[in-house]
Amino acid sequence: MEDFEARLNVTYGGANGDLPDPIPFDTADTVVRRTVEEAIRSGSIPGIGADPNVSLGDYVVDRFGPNEVRDFHLLQLRPKTPFG
Amino acid sequence: MTIEVGVLVDLDFEPIYWHQPEGSDTAALPDSRVLWEVIWQCRDRVLGFAHSHPGRGEPGPSHEDLTTFAAIESALGKRLVWWITSEDVSVELGWMGPSRLDYRKGLALYEPEWMTKLRDLSR
């Protein structure tokens, strides 16, 4: 993985998985969601079943830089949790 | 109610986690990665989530509430029970379908201690 790239992790359908290929860390949120939607539709995320009806418009992207236990950038896609 | 508060409830109908994040106000609970991490860690024993709304009378879910319900359930791969309480009335909601945001609302006939505490924390 290059310094400008990140691992992309998603939680969906009761499972958690990483996209097989890294993406640029500064990828826009909308592109991140679209990329993961396509991956879930095709069933190409190990550990996450295919879902042709996946919709991630209400998911948010958390971004993490390298740290002492992980020497790479990480993007995590998870559901939003605001109420009101 | 002076501030919105939430509580995660387990299958034994007991509170797991009280959600009182910074940034809460009378109209909203902000997005919280911490809340999601707790929900995910407790996913095998979570029954649902309750939060407070300002004012009195029968509360109803906002569009923000409904889209959050749907998003969390899609990530968990299972349906939850969602409670909303005002100062004097509580309701519970569950997905009925067929569309993504079709949640049915009913009055919560049983009010556990955590619902009373939820209202107290919201004042």
Q: Does A47 touch chain B (CB under 8 A)?
A: no
Nearest CA in chain A to B42: A14
Question: What phi and psi values does residue B23 have, to the nearest 5 degrees?
Answer: 95, -5
Alpha-carbon distance values, B93 to A75, B54, B100, B107 (Å): 32, 18, 14, 9
Which of A33, A62, A83 is the best residue to mutate to test the B interface, defined by the most B CB atoms within 10 Å of its own CB?
Answer: A83
Q: Cβ of A82 and B40 within 8 Å?
A: no
- Is the pTM higher than 0.80? The answer reads yes
What pLDDT shows up at residue B26?
A: 74
Report the residue of chain B nearest A11, measured CA to CA: B75
How would residue A10 be classed by pLDDT, with cut points 50, 70 and 90?
A: very high
**pLDDT per residue as tens digits for the range B52-87:** 998 999 999 999 999 999 999 999 999 999 999 999
Question: Tokens in use for B115?
Answer: 């619902």
What average pLDDT does this structure show over A34-40?
A: 98
In this predicted model, what pLDDT tens digit does every residue of B10-28 receive, in sequence order?
A: 999 999 999 998 877 778 9
